Amino acid sequence: DTAVSQTPKYLVTQMGNDKSIKCEQNLGHDTMYWYKQDSKKFLKIMFSYNNKELIINETVPNRFSPKSPDKAHLNLHINSLELGDSAVYFCASSQDEEGLVKGYTFGSGTRLTVV
């Protein structure tokens, strides 16, 4: 069983479209995250949710809207896609203080290409 699963794995879409990426974790973790990895492999946190509550909201365009229907799911919806949104998006989860020693568990990523 995959611990943190993201869908789709690849997403190619045109500029201006709206798309969603889904993430589910079956680890029972309390906190979930979205990270963006750019073409230079630099990883930057976008959002985190703890028990469906938004905890971290970095400087991200408001075209990006996370949604957490329950603590096992954190989806990312992106409106009006732009070329600069092309990146690999990683979902991750952690179990609060236990996460300090076990770190985050990452999904395998969604490669978004905007053309």
Partner 1 sequence: GEDVEQSLFLSVREGDSSVINCTYTDSSSTYLYWYKQEPGAGLQLLTYIFSNMDMKQDQRLTVLLNKKDKHLSLRIADTQTGDSAIYFCADLLGDDYKLSFGAGTTVTVRA
Residues making contact with partner 1 (CB under 8 A): 4, 31, 40-45, 48, 55-56, 90, 92, 94, 96, 99-109
**Residue 100: Cβ-neighbour burial (10 angstroms; 0-12, 13-18, 19+):** exposed
Least distance to partner 1, CB of residue 63, Å:
22
Radius of gyration of the chain (CA): 13
Which CB atom, from 81 or from 88, has the smaller least distance to partner 1? Answer: 88
Least Cα distance to 85 among 20, 3, 5 occurs for 20
Least distance to partner 1, CB of residue 18, Å:
25
Least distance to partner 1, CB of residue 103, Å:
4
